[in-house]
Amino acid sequence: MSDSTLARDIDACCRLTGEFTLRSGQVAGEYFDKYLFESDPALLARVVDRMLPLLPEGTELLGGLELGGVPIVTVLSSRTGLPALFVRKKAKEYGTCKLAEGPAVEGRRVTLVEDVITTGGAVRDATRALREAGAVVETVVCAIDRSPEGSNPLDDVGLEVRAVLTKAELDAASAASD
C-alpha cells in the first residue's frame, strides 16, 4: 500500500468539519482529530509499519510523548523489541517524581515518538529534559509532520524530524477525494 493510500485513509478518518475552538482560541471550520487514527487498530498498525524503517540505527529506547505518542510507542516497542519510555509533559510531583516512566535513560540513545508535530513545543521540552537526565536524543519519529513544508521546527535543539506523512500529503489526499 502506498503512502498516498495511507494519507487518504488517515485524512478520511481524522479530518472533521464543523465549528471547532482551537487551543489558540480561534474558531475553525476544520479540525484534525489525530486520536481517531490512534484508536483504530488497523490504521495504527499501518502507521507503525511505516515508522519502522524511520528508526535510526543504534536506538536503545523509544520515548513516547504523553498522550498521543504513547499508543504509537507501545505498538512500536512491541514490533521492535526495544523498550518503551512514557514521557510526561512534566515530571510527577509525587511517588518517583519521574518525567519518563520506564528504564533509566542516562547514557542511552533515545528516539522520541510523537503523533503530530506542528511547532514541536512538547518534543522540544521532552528533548531538553531527557538530555538533562543524560540521554542522547537526536531524532524524533512522528506519524504526521504538520509544520510548514521545508522547515524543521526543532532545528533549535538539533533534533532531526522523520515523519511518516506530512501536512502536504494529507492536504493532497483531501483534495483528491473532493
Which residue blocks in the chain are alpha helix, DSSP H? 3-14, 35-38, 41-51, 69-80, 121-132, 167-177
Task: Note down the domain range covering 121.
Answer: 3-177
Strand partners, 64: 86, 113
Instruction: Say yes or no to pLDDT of 106 above 80.
Output: yes
- The mean pLDDT value for 81-86 works out to 98
* CA 99/CA 126 separation, integer angstroms: 9
Residue 167's contacts (CB-CB under 8 Å, 6 or more residues apart) are 144, 145, 146, 147, 149
pLDDT tens readout for residues 118-136: 889 999 999 999 999 999 9
Number of domains in the chain: 1
pLDDT tens readout for residues 24-49: 788 888 888 999 999 999 999 999 99
- The mean pLDDT value for 64-85 works out to 97
Q: What confidence tier does 89 reach under pLDDT thresholds 50, 70, 90?
A: confident
- The mean pLDDT value for 149-171 works out to 93
* CA 14/CA 16 separation, integer angstroms: 6
* CA 8/CA 97 separation, integer angstroms: 41
CATH number, position 95: 3.40.50.2020
Is pTM beyond 0.85? Reply is yes
What the block records as the C-alpha cell of 54 is 524511520
